[in-house]
Amino acid sequence: MGRSADYSNEKCAIAGALYVVGEPWTLLIIRDAFRGFSRFEQWQKNTGIARNVLAARLKRLVATGIMHTRPYHQKPLRHEYLLTERGQSLKGVILALYGWGQEHVYKDRQPVLTLRHRQTAETLRPRIYDEGTGSRICLQDILFDYNPHAPSLAELYAETDSESMA
């Protein structure tokens, strides 16, 4: 999406996130990384994504600091792709997409995913609360107040190391 849609005048962290992860296939590649995929052939086989598109997406995920590479074979040299901490923290985005897609696309079907706790293995039903008051929040109660003085993405890019933004 970054290349094809120009979000650079946006003064918005949502656009900032989409600039990095909004290209077609990118969020599905990240989804599969949470499943343990780390090698080109795993993604290629699972998604059927064209090889040149997959190579371009992985390259950009490394350039934007979402993934890093690690050699797993010497001759010939082969790298695998692993989520960085910055990439790991996209799990909330994947989770929100899952919640909506299960409710509104898969509807009354068996859940596509079961969410489990890493340590206890119990099934989780994530809900939102407010850290300040400790109260549960309904999404419809959340209003977004925009800060009119926020810099645009283009302004941020101009100031920031292109490595972490590109």
Give me the sign of the Cα torsion angle 23, 25, 26, 28.
positive
Residue burial 5-44, b: 16+ Cβ < 10 Å; e: rest? eebeebbbeebbebbbbbbeebbbbbbebeeebbebebbe
CA atoms within 13 A on the CB side of 33: 26
Q: Specify the residue, 74 or 133, whose C-beta has the smaller distance to a second copy.
A: 133
Q: What are phi and psi of 80, to 5 degrees?
A: -110, 165
Closest approach of a second copy to the CB of residue 39, in Å: 18
Q: Specify the residue, 74 or 135, whose C-beta has the smaller distance to a second copy.
A: 135
Q: Specify the residue, 58 or 90, whose C-beta has the smaller distance to a second copy.
A: 90
Closest approach of a second copy to the CB of residue 80, in Å: 20
Separation between Cα atoms, residue 48 and residue 80, nearest integer Å: 18
Closest approach of a second copy to the CB of residue 20, in Å: 7
Q: Specify the residue, 13 or 82, whose C-beta has the smaller distance to a second copy.
A: 13
Closest approach of a second copy to the CB of residue 69, in Å: 19
